[in-house]
A and B are shown apart, each in its own frame.
Chain A
Amino acid sequence: GEDVEQSLFLSVREGDSSVINCTYTDSSSTYLYWYKQEPGAGLQLLTYIFSNMDMKQDQRLTVLLNKKDKHLSLRIADTQTGDSAIYFCAEQSGNMLTFGGGTRLMVKP
């Protein structure tokens, strides 16, 4: 089975960049996703990247994909206090998404 891993916690200062990392195991994954979950809320789809891409940029978000190392990262530029949340990466495995355990991002003013 697939196993998606993320570090548990990241703390940054407001205005700095945040980089959240993820490793996955299914080399046949076609799409990889980043979701954001605020306390007590559902998951918000932030961005996704197709497996034949190396990078995708969307406003303050930059996704980098290293297929050789099965490594995915999400960079948030100019991090704001409103970015404080749990961030989940997920890989597409057939019809289902397999999620990592989530990285809790804390942004200090």
Chain B
Amino acid sequence: NAGVMQNPRHLVRRRGQEARLRCSPMKGHSHVYWYRQLPEEGLKFMVYLQKENIIDESGMPKERFSAEFPKEGPSILRIQQVVRGDSAAYFCASSPATSGGYEQYFGPGTRLTVT
């Protein structure tokens, strides 16, 4: 029973490029959450998605960031025209539909470095 999977684990992008981060939830989980962890800080909520729906994006920056969770395939967090301040670890978590958002299980994260 694989846990939450994220890829790539490490991603290096130059300023102005696009970053795509992927998250496959645990088997049987249909809720996905994205969090960002800046160096030496705790995690900050970004967005909560269910299949084909964005439920809560109150933590997403207004520009350049978008997320999707299609009917088939992984959830994608997309950052356009990356800047140095986007360098962080991005974590995905999933929970089953029946849990009401409780018991969020986290993936290993994608560490994005913008040069």
Residues of chain A lying within 8 A (CB to CB) of residue B73: none
| Contact A96 B106, beta carbon cutoff 8 Å | no
Interface residues of B (CB under 8 A from A): 4, 33, 35, 41-45, 48, 55-56, 58-59, 91, 93, 101-109
Closest residue of chain A to B56, judged by CB?
A: A95
Known: A45-B104, A48-B102, A102-B41. 17 other contacts (CB 8 A): A35-B106, A41-B109, A42-B91, A42-B107, A90-B43, A92-B101, A95-B33, A95-B56, A96-B33, A96-B48, A96-B56, A97-B93, A99-B42, A99-B43, A99-B44, A101-B41, A101-B42
Give Cα A88 to B104, complex, Å: 14
Closest residue of chain B to A98, judged by CB?
A: B45
Contact pick for A96, options B45, B107, B108, CB 8 Å:
B45
| Contact A95 B43, beta carbon cutoff 8 Å | no
18 contacts between A and B (CB under 8 A): A41-B109, A42-B107, A43-B91, A43-B106, A44-B106, A45-B105, A48-B103, A92-B101, A92-B102, A94-B56, A95-B55, A96-B45, A96-B48, A96-B58, A97-B35, A100-B42, A101-B42, A102-B42
Interface residues of A (CB under 8 A from B): 4, 30-31, 35, 41-45, 48, 88, 90, 92, 94-102
Give Cα A42 to B102, complex, Å: 18
| Given known A-B contacts A94-B56, A95-B56, A42 and B42 have beta carbons under 8 A apart | no
Give Cα A44 to B105, complex, Å: 8
Residues of chain B lying within 8 A (CB to CB) of residue A98: 45
Which of B33, B44, B104 has the most C-beta atoms of chain A within 10 angstroms of its own C-beta? B104
Closest residue of chain A to B50, judged by CB?
A: A95
Which of A4, A90, A94, A96 has the most C-beta atoms of chain B within 10 angstroms of its own C-beta? A96
Q: Nearest-CB distance from A104 to chain B (Å)?
A: 10
Residues of chain A lying within 8 A (CB to CB) of residue B41: 101-102
